[in-house]
Amino acid sequence: MYSYLYSFIQKLILKKSLNSDAANLLRFTKFQNIIDIGCGESDVHNYFKLDKTKKYFGYELNNYFIKKLRKKYNKKNFFFANKKIDQINFKKFDPKKNNNFINWNFSSY
């Protein structure tokens, strides 16, 4: 419920979603991984298609969204986890090996 309310207020006040801005950045950025912290409904995918060579990691505190996203994006390059920020293993996203794009939704964390 919170995710819907948050998105509605964003669109009402800003006349757009911040995820659309993130998707626009993705179109012009070379990256290997998307790390979406506080992914909620993973709305960034409404604005951007992820090709099979890239990986998406969505982290969310609300397990309802994790279960829903695992069903919706049942693909090998999509990973979803119910983890707190201090439980995420950021070492696997080594910037020396991969270009990473981090989308952090502060309202969830």
Range of the domain at 27: 2-108
Collapsing DSSP to helix, strand or coil, 44 comes out as helix
In sequence order, which ranges of the chain are alpha helices (DSSP H)? 2-14, 18-27, 63-72
Cα(30)–Cα(37) distance, integer angstroms: 19
Give the residue from 73, 79, 2 showing the smallest Cα distance to 40: 2
The reported pTM is: 0.74
Cα(82)–Cα(7) distance, integer angstroms: 20
CATH code of the domain in which 17 resides: 3.40.50.150
41-90: pLDDT as tens digits: 887 777 777 888 889 999 999 999 999 999 999 989 999 999 999 999 99
Q: How many domains does the chain have?
A: 1
For the chain, the average pLDDT equals 78
pLDDT at 1: 44
